[in-house]
A and B are shown apart, each in its own frame.
Chain A
Amino acid sequence: QKEVEQDPGPLSVPEGAIVSLNCTYSNSAFQYFMWYRQYSRKGPELLMYTYSSGNKEDGRFTAQVDKSSKYISLFIRDSQPSDSATYLCAMSLPSNTGKLIFGQGTTLQVKP
C-alpha cells in the first residue's frame, strides 16, 4: 500500500464547475498537508498549506484535512480553464528534514 493515494484522473469539468480533488494516506503521524499545482513541463508550485485538521480558504480554493479519516481534499470553486493542470497532494511528518511524500497527482481539465 502506498503511503499516499491519489486518483490520477484525468478529470474533465466544464468552466464554472466545483472541483473536488482528494487524497488518502496511511500514516497517522503526518501533520503537515499541502497541495501543489503543476502546469505541463513546469515545476510544481505550492497552492495551499495546512497544519493538522480543519479547513483553509484562499480565494476560490479550499483545503480540507480530516485526520480522523486520513483524508484530505482540495475544492476549486468557479473553475477556470487556467486551472487546467496536475494537482499533487503532499504531506510530511514533524522532522527537520522536511521530506514530503507526494501523491501521484490528478490531472484536471477545465473546458470553456
Chain B
Amino acid sequence: SQTIHQWPATLVQPVGSPLSLECTVEGTSNPNLYWYRQAAGRGLQLLFYSVGIGQISSEVPQNLSASRPQDRQFILSSKKLLLSDSGFYLCAWSVTGAGGGYTFGSGTRLTVV
C-alpha cells in the first residue's frame, strides 16, 4: 500500500533562518507531488507541484522553493524565513493522470518568530 511521510510535525524558526521540509512517498512510482500551505482559518493554497524528477512548477511567487531530487522525494525550502511564512504545510501525492484524488501527509505546523 502507498504511504506518505512528512516531517517534522512541528517547527518553530526565527525570522531569517533557513527552512527544509521533506516529504517522501512509498509504494508507488512516478507520482505527482504537491506542496500546499494552509493559513489559519483559510483554504489550501497550492505552492508547488511536480510531475517528475527535477520538474517543478511554482504557483505563487514567494520566499519559498521546491526540489524533487528523487522520484518519491519532495523538498520545500527557504533561504530566509519571513513572519508571513508561518502556516500549516501539507505535502500530497496523486497518481499521474487526470482527476486523481490526493493523499495528504500529516502536515508540518511552522511558526516563524
A: residues with CB less than 8 A from B are 6, 8, 31-32, 34, 36, 41-46, 49, 51, 88, 90, 92-100, 102-105
A92 touches which of B43, B88, B99 (Cβ 8 Å): B99
B35 is an interface residue with CB less than 8 A from chain A = no
* A to B contact number (C-beta, < 8 Å): 70
B: residues with CB less than 8 A from A are 6, 32, 34, 41-44, 46, 49, 51, 57, 88, 90, 92, 94-107, 109
* A-side interface mostly: loop
Given that A43-B106, A44-B90 are contacting pairs, would A97 and B57 also be in contact in the complex, using a CB cutoff of 8 Å? yes
Q: How far apart are B34's CB and chain A's nearest CB, in angstroms? A: 8
Contact A105 B43 (CB under 8 A): yes
Find chain B residues with CB under 8 A from A93 CB. 98
Q: How far apart are B53's CB and chain A's nearest CB, in angstroms? A: 15
Contact A98 B43 (CB under 8 A): no
Of all chain A residues, the one with the shortest Cβ separation from B104 is A43
Q: How far apart are A11's CB and chain B's nearest CB, in angstroms? A: 15
Of all chain B residues, the one with the shortest Cβ separation from A43 is B104
Q: How far apart are A99's CB and chain B's nearest CB, in angstroms? A: 6
Q: How far apart are B56's CB and chain A's nearest CB, in angstroms? A: 12
Scoring B57, B104, B106 by chain A CB atoms within 10 A of each residue's CB, the highest score goes to B104
Given that A8-B41, A97-B32, A97-B57 are contacting pairs, would A32 and B107 also be in contact in the complex, using a CB cutoff of 8 Å? no
A102 to B102, CA, bound (A): 12
Find chain B residues with CB under 8 A from A90 CB. 102
Contact A46 B102 (CB under 8 A): yes
Q: How far apart are B24's CB and chain A's nearest CB, in angstroms? A: 15
A33 to B63, CA, bound (A): 31
A44 to B105, CA, bound (A): 8
Contact A95 B98 (CB under 8 A): yes
